[in-house]
Structure 1
């Protein structure tokens, strides 16, 4: 089942600045998804669109089969969370590993499975070397 489905989504800041153009993707239940890219590539715009802070120029968003509309906004926001760009608003633990573990704890992942999951996914995004680093000391 797709928990999030984005179809042909476009958004523009002003007349000449396309933040995103015709973006489509699906996120399956139980999967882990990260949106990565350079500064100004549209990551924050997509996050704001997913929680209804911005209204798309075209396209649609479905969350667990519920269309993202003004009427359904509180339902959708109860199902989606975002990671803030400002570190002062998001760090829980003293290391990157602690912060990732906090998220897994909220999903009731057994403690015995956490290290393997953290290492597997940190390898996928080339972050293993930073797992024991203090998050506020990382840049970019």
Structure 2
């Protein structure tokens, strides 16, 4: 079995730091403090996701970060609708900026098409996503 990733828009986030802050505040949603992203659809390729897959986050039209997927769990909301909780490692890994057009929901991402982690796991100050995308397009980042 080969691993596969997910790609998802971080709706409302203007930076990786803002997304990280939001997740930290939401991690209290569970008694064990683990953060999860809730989605309506259960991934058909769950085993491949759990074989080392990550969720790549698109912020302001640019893929800028990823988080390792640590588990999937069915959850039923107060409305009685069953959903899939995608549990994520709290470590957010910055990746090389990659422009991405808007889309709805999430998509599978083949590892060969995924942006690479930034060299040495470096933590850079957030550039505006539009600048990061422009630099990526000309091969600077």
TM-score > 0.5 by shorter chain: no
Identify the TM-score tier after normalising by the shorter chain. under 0.3
TM-score (norm 1): 0.25
Which structure shows the higher helix fraction? 1
Which structure shows the higher strand fraction? 2
Larger radius of gyration between Structure 1 and Structure 2: 1
